[in-house]
Chain A
Amino acid sequence: MSKVLNKTLAKNKIEWRRKAEAVKSKPATFGPDIDLSKFATPTEKEKVESLESLSKQAKEAALYVGIDADESFRAGSYFQIDHSVIYERVQQAYQGQLEIMSTSEALERYDWVADLWWQAVHVDQDKYTALAELKHTHGYFIRVFKGQKIERPIQACLFLAENNISQNVHNLIVIEDDAEAQIITGCTLHPRVEEGLHVGISEFFLGKNASLMFTMIHNWAENFDVRPRTGAVLEDNATFVSNYILLRPVKSIQMFPAAFLKGKDSRARFNTILYGMKDSYIDVGSKAVLSNKETKAEAIARAVACDQSQIYARGQLIGQVNESRAHLDCRGILFSSEAQIRAIPELFAEKAPLSELSHEAAISPIAEEEVEYLMARGLSKEEAVSTITRGFLDIDIPGLPPILKGYIQRVLDAATKEAL
């Protein structure tokens, strides 16, 4: 690395840290405030040669969030346990088409990475972005080279193996012009982990005509807090599809990922599936800022609240130019008289009278009439409710790889059966 690059990075780091220091006690706009002082710093772990060498429990937990240890249908993998990057590999067939490494390494290797760092998410947003800067513990860097179409999913797992630590990852995903990819990110815990914090910054940059299907599956624990911060910047004719799935209990999760449609004809779609169980506090939104002509965005959310869970399903569409269109669709089902769902859609046409923004939101019980209809076909009441719930959560995600669709279906099956 050249001295010039070192100097640029060092200068940037000073600026990022200055901004982070200024907000390190600033609570987030939404969600319960978390005392960050109680989380420890774990020791670094050694790298592994293959994901197969991970413990059986780790592999099982990873599989549940879409991470396949045998990698046979993956283009590449990244695996981080706590603060340590233990595995990163691009499959032989995809060498030269994409690269995967930790963001710490990418910052050292490429000067332009610093130019993207904190560009889609603000470092001074709140204490969690500050924590990710001040105590940055890697995260993945995935770059798909110009014109490359990666037909197999790339997988990244952010895993926690120790109790009472905070994992503060900062991920950077760059899909260059005319490139296409699918990324599955699974965030999960070792079964012995009960308490801790995951802060995940994810910044996406999609070049002209680039396309990315990003699927994030979270499996946490009842005493675990999660604060992701996500931003995606789209150039002309780029397509960003973000699928988020949460089907297990969590103490609290708060996130409001945003897509910035800066390029003409760019498109974003958020599909969010939330299954609230036990005392989970779930505050999840989707935001799209349409700042160029012919941009389109869609935010679909399905929420099921069981037990004493609380779900806030937010959506924000901001039309800044004419000839931009966006729609929000949020539906919820309450399964318990002690659960809560709030759907909070917000449409903001900002000096753009020809921007078309719309929303529909509904919270309702499962219709008894539908349950009885299925029972008349021979399904028990439990089977009928489960079938309807699964159908309710089964958002039609165009272009979702069959392997992933099958996997999500199995997870939904397991979650609905468990809830009943």
Chain B
Amino acid sequence: MLEVKDLTVEVDRKTILHNVNLAIDAGETHALLGPNGSGKTTLLMAIMGMPRYRIKKGQVLFQGKDITKLSIDERARLGIGLAFQRPPAVRGVKTRQIVELCLGEKNAKKVEELARKLNLAAMLERDVNQGFSGGEIKRSEMLQLLAQNPSFAMFDEPESGVDLDNIAVVGEAINEILQKERIREKKKAGLIVTHTGHILDYVNADRGHVLMEGTIVCEGNPRDLFADIRAHGYEECVKCRRC
């Protein structure tokens, strides 16, 4: 579904990602692991088409189509979604409004139902992310992605700043967005960025990648990778090179 080929990305004239390759098939969920500053968010932003994340080299293919030069909204309309780690507050734009926009006119009535599912019914009339707690921000991002219903969803540190109760709610939402409850005909795919790995206790990832200093240095079973990282730290990933 998504293929990143030899991707080199710079931010503010500084190269952050170097020749990154990644392929995620329909029905798969991948976890992207790595220490702070390794370039995980940069990869997600580049896939989403954020202009500040400039692609110097390489390609992003989605469902076989080269989307490297498409704008953010064109990518979103093709079926790519992103749950931001630190989304901005948008003063004057209500949460209900943005969820309705994501749902489209036909499904706008589902707002309440989705909001209740994420314990956000009371936040619908509040400005998006304005004064939200850490947990509320993450649940709001899940609410928007549920409404958007993307084929390929990316989650940037969905557990950061969230207590255990909220991690469970967020995890459940990710499973729903990615159709994890289905046994057959899984059509959605996902990429979850995690620094702590806690979210993987709630969401089953098929494959893991470790990103260090802008380069994917290791791949494998995400649980095994995390067990190693917990035992030896990220530094060992560079030394190990078992991939």
Contacts and interface: CB of A to CB of B under 8 A. Distances in A.
Do chains A and B interact in one complex?
yes
Interface of A: 367, 369-370, 372-381, 384, 387-388, 390-394
Residue among B72, B76, B127 with max Cβ neighbours from chain A (10 Å): B72
A388 B92 contact: yes
Nearest to B98: A377
Contacts of A392: 91-92
Given A372-B50, A374-B98, A387-B97, A379 B73 contact: yes
Contacts of A370: 88, 90
A114 to B, nearest CB: 45
Contact of A377 (B50, B71, B148): B148
Given A373-B84, A375-B72, A378-B102, A388 B90 contact: yes
A376 B88 contact: no
Interface in B92-142: 92-94, 97-98, 101-102, 127
Interface of B: 48, 50-51, 71-73, 76-77, 81-82, 84, 87-88, 90-94, 97-98, 101-102, 127, 144, 148
Given A372-B50, A378-B101, A392-B92, 20 more contacts: A370-B88, A373-B84, A374-B98, A374-B101, A375-B71, A376-B48, A376-B72, A376-B73, A377-B76, A377-B98, A377-B101, A377-B144, A378-B102, A379-B101, A381-B71, A384-B73, A387-B93, A387-B101, A390-B92, A391-B93
Chain B CB within 10 Å, residue with most, of A379, A388, A390: A379
B148 A378 contact: yes
Contacts of B93: 374, 387-388, 391
Contacts of B101: 374, 377-379, 387
A378 B82 CA distance: 11
A330 to B, nearest CB: 14
Contacts, number: 62
Contact of B87 (A373, A387, A393): A373
B77 to A, nearest CB: 5
B111 to A, nearest CB: 14
Tell me which of B77, B87, B90 has the highest count of chain A C-beta atoms within 10 A of its own C-beta: B90
B177 to A, nearest CB: 14
A184 to B, nearest CB: 23
A405 B123 CA distance: 21
A394 B73 contact: no
12 contacts: A370-B88, A372-B51, A373-B87, A374-B90, A374-B101, A375-B72, A375-B73, A376-B48, A379-B101, A388-B92, A391-B94, A392-B92
Contacts of B51: 372
Nearest to B87: A373
